[in-house]
């Protein structure tokens, strides 16, 4: 059976949660947990979770929460431990240590009926049409099949990747899940298709779902209410984009003799990157950079600028 096809719903999640309001320094306030008293605010609650495979530690003492109505971006390079963590949240892997709660209880077959999941391989039958996939999923979940936003009579395996991802998203959400987990949902699609998928993700959160999205696209980070950065199985940083970048800076250098400037700076210690003819020295002191350039001497425009999220990942991992 395709990944995720066994999940089924348990009906309504209760009254719609309250309105979201603008929040200084962040995207929005989180919605209240649906269903009233006794329902935990955090739909996903991961506490000091570790997963080992033999002597290899894939996930190391990770804490993570996702509230109802919140989109949390799980960000990191391939191999950072994101998919392993997701599989533990779904109950597909048991933690070596720590605890995972989803909707107030450890992952279970009954609990998974309220979860929507799109794995990296999409979880669709490639030799069925998009309509047939949705009909099968609706039957398994006991829900009403949603319409396909394109011609659904083509075999899934023959559809462009962007349409396959849209079909997988519809299949994962047509039972109105309380929790939605998406593993690299925009990988390999065009910028326009990525933008459309993020609009759909936001609609799910606005409806009260707790949404966890893993991605290695750093430019998608600002779409999430909150980020959890993973590196080598550990949480390297958490919070809003502004929280994570915070005081982290880079020194930007532009010079006509940029090759000589790069050679002078590359041995100073901090990581040095080159984009076109613009050099960025991560986490460096501007005065140190200016001193290194003076050894050339190389005349350059030097300024301290905020680090990007990619650069923050490098600095937090160093």
What CATH number has the domain bearing residue 312?
A: 3.30.70.100
Q: For the CA atoms of the chain, what is the radius of gyration?
A: 22
Q: Are residues 104 and 171 in the same domain?
A: yes
Whole-angstrom CA distances from 191 to 103, 162, 185 are 33, 10, 13
- 228 and 283 part of one domain: no
Residue 78 and residue 160 share a domain: yes
Query: What is the count of structural domains for the chain?
Result: 2
The reply to whether 235 and 304 lie within a common domain is: no
Residue 154's CATH number: 3.40.50.300
Give the pLDDT score at 286.
93
Q: Examine residue 226 and state whether it is found in any structural domain, yes or no.
A: yes
The verdict on residue 274 lying in a domain is yes
Q: Are residues 145 and 287 in the same domain?
A: no
What CA–CA distance (Å, rounded) separates 55 from 137? Answer: 38
What is the residue whose two structure tokens read 């059976």? 1
Separation of alpha carbons 65 and 138, rounded Å: 29
Are residues 180 and 272 located together in one domain of the fold? no
Could you tell me if residue 5 is inside a domain? no
Residue 3 counted as domain residue: no
- Rounded to an integer, what distance in angstroms lies between the CA atom of residue 32 and that of residue 18? 6
- 113 occurs within a structural domain: yes
Among 16, 22, 13, 66, residue whose Cα is nearest residue 41: 66
Domain boundary among 225, 244, 263: 244
User: In terms of domains, do 257 and 223 share one?
Assistant: no
Position 24 in a domain: no
Q: Which of 186, 213, 244 is the last residue of a domain?
A: 244
> What are the tokens at 21?
């309001």
CB atoms near residue 53 (< 10 Å): 11
- Give the ranges where the chain is alpha helix by DSSP (H): 82-89, 130-141, 161-173, 191-206, 241-245, 258-266, 286-294, 309-317
Same-domain status, 228 and 294: no
275 inside domain: yes
Judgement on whether residues 56 and 191 belong to the same structural domain of the protein: yes
Q: Within 10 Å of residue 22's Cβ, how many Cβ atoms?
A: 8
Which residues in the chain land under pLDDT 50? 1-33, 35
Q: Read off the pTM.
A: 0.77
Pair (117, 209) in one structural domain:
yes
217, 278: one domain: no
Domain that holds residue 154: 42-244
Residue 246: count of CB within 10 angstroms of its CB? 14
Burial of 132 (0-12, 13-18, 19+ CB in 10 A): middle
Tell me, what's the pLDDT at 226? Answer: 94
State residue 38's pLDDT score: 54
**CA 311 to CA 306: how far, in whole Å?**
9
Instruction: Please tell me the predicted confidence (pLDDT) of residue 241.
Output: 84
Instruction: Give Dmax (Cα) for the chain.
Output: 73
Question: Domain boundary at 187, 218, 244, which?
Answer: 244
What pLDDT does residue 213 have?
A: 95
pLDDT one-digit tens code per residue, 152-183: 788 888 888 888 888 888 888 888 899 999 99
Q: Residue 170 is encoded by which pair of tokens?
A: 């519809």
Beta strands in the chain (DSSP E): 42-53, 56-67, 71-75, 97-102, 115-118, 179-183, 210-215, 226-231, 234-239, 249-254, 272-275, 278-282, 301-306
Position 175 in a domain: yes
Same domain? For 287 and 152 the reply is: no
């Amino acid at each position: 059976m395709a990944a995720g096809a066994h999940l089924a719903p348990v009906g309504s999640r209760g009254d719609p949660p309250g309105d979201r309001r603008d929040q200084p320094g962040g995207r929005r306030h989180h919605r209240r947990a649906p269903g009233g008293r006794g329902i935990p605010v955090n739909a996903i609650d991961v506490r000091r979770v570790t997963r080992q495979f033999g002597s290899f530690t894939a996930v190391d003492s990770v804490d993570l929460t996702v509230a109802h109505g919140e989109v949390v971006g799980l960000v990191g390079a391939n191999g950072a431990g994101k998919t392993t963590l997701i599989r533990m949240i779904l109950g597909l892997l048991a933690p070596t240590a720590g605890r995972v709660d989803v909707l107030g209880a450890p992952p279970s077959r009954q609990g998974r009926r309220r979860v929507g999941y799109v794995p990296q391989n999409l979880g669709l039958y490639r030799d069925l049409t998009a309509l047939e996939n949705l009909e099968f999923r609706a039957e398994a979940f006991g829900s009403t099949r949603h319409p396909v936003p394109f011609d659904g009579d083509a075999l899934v395996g023959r559809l462009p990747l962007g349409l396959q991802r849209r079909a997988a998203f519809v299949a994962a959400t047509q039972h109105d899940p309380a929790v939605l987990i998406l593993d690299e949902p925009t990988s390999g699609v065009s910028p326009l298709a990525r933008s459309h998928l993020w609009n759909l993700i936001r609609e799910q959160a606005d409806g009260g779902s707790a949404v966890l999205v893993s991605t290695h696209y750093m430019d998608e980070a600002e779409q999430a209410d909150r980020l959890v950065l993973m590196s080598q199985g550990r949480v390297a940083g958490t919070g809003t984009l502004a929280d994570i970048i915070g005081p982290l800076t880079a020194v930007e250098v532009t010079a006509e003799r940029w090759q000589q400037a790069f050679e002078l700076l590359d041995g100073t210690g901090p990581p040095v990157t080159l984009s076109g003819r613009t050099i960025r020295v991560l986490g460096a002191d501007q005065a140190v950079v200016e001193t290194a350039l003076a050894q050339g001497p190389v005349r350059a425009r030097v300024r301290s600028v905020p680090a990007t999220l990619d650069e923050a990942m490098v600095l937090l991992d160093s």
